[in-house]
Structure 1
Amino acid sequence: MSIKRGNLGFHVSFVVPNEATERMDQFITTHEQFMRETHHLSGDQEPIILSYSVFKSPELNNPFDPNSGETGNTLYGLTEIYNGPEGVQAHMTLGQQREAMFAELVDLTNTYSVAGILGAPVIAAME
């Protein structure tokens, strides 16, 4: 399925001190496993995931100059896109059923998140 205007998505950005990246990496591994076990790439059963991506990069002093040096933090971006509200709701319901994973997400978000876009519509896409 392709992503188009009106689909709904999440994006959460994290700035994590380098000494805490092992914890974040462990969460990402757990979350990816959860996504693979509970989400569908096609069909009629929600949640159908159109896109799931996690990005990781050192935080640079100047993001436009790779030679500027690093800040000592690592940047993470977690992005998910669903067809619509039914997929978002199914995702949230399944995620909250995994209490330890959900509690870790909440704690990581409260500690390291610098921006969160939750259940927002896609406003531009290569349709």
Structure 2
Amino acid sequence: MDISRGFLVAGAVYLVVGIVFGAYMGGSGDHTLAPVHAHINLLGFTLMTAFGIGYRLIPGLAEGALPKLHFWLHQIGSLLLLLGLFLMMTGTVAEASIGPVFPVLEGAILLGAVLWLVGVIRHA
């Protein structure tokens, strides 16, 4: 698996989703989902693009099992967190029922970030 390519492609997908989401909000005048839009752009486009570039530029960083674990923790954690945030903010799912899931998903994203940190310390 090419970790750099995976993060860059995912980041590009989130960029398009974020732009479409933002355009919809701007056109409708309803900005109640602005936090979802911000998280799409930060967790999706910005971080994934930064990770993809980092894995491409730093020799040795993409080798081994830790980068793969980082990739999947970030992908799954981000997608489910964004979906949960959207469902909660649209009122589709009650905060009381979905709220307890958020720390688990945030923990997955945090663990991925710690793996990134370990790789950067080792290879940068």
Same fold (TM over 0.5): no
Return the TM-score normalized by structure 2: 0.33
More helix by share: 2
Structure with higher RCO (Cα < 8 A, 6+ apart): 1
More strand by share: 1
Return the TM-score normalized by structure 1: 0.33
